């Protein structure tokens, strides 16, 4: 009898759309009176609270 192959499949929990499953999102940092963009700041995704899984309703 041949050995069983390990199962490879998708996880049951879908990925969060805003952060694409990473748990972090980037926002543009603006400074000055003209609000010039100077860079990006990374922060926790508020949709999934950093887990990377899509929120359930």
Q: Flag whether pLDDT at 57 surpasses 70.
A: no
Which pTM value belongs to this model?
0.58
What is the pLDDT, as a whole number, of residue 12?
A: 76
What is the pLDDT, as a whole number, of residue 36?
A: 96
Q: How far is CA 48 from CA 4, 10, 20, 21, 45, in A?
A: 36, 19, 10, 9, 6
Position 30 in a domain:
yes
What is the pLDDT, as a whole number, of residue 34?
A: 95
Position 7 in a domain:
no
* Number of residues that make up the chain: 57
Number of domains forming the structure of the chain? 1
Q: How far is CA 24 from CA 4, 8, 20, 27, 47, in A?
A: 38, 26, 9, 10, 10
Position 35 in a domain:
yes
12-42 pLDDT tens trace: 778 888 898 888 999 999 999 999 999 999 9
Position 48 in a domain:
yes
Position 2 in a domain:
no
Domain that holds residue 25: 14-57
Position 1 in a domain:
no
Per the listing, tokens 């609270």 go with 49
């Amino acid at each position: 009898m041949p050995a069983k192959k390990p199962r490879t499949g998708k996880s049951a929990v879908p990925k969060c759309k805003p952060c694409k499953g990473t748990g972090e999102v980037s926002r543009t940092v603006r400074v000055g009176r003209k609000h010039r963009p100077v860079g990006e700041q990374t922060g926790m995704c508020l949709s999934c609270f950093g887990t990377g899984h899509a929120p359930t309703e």
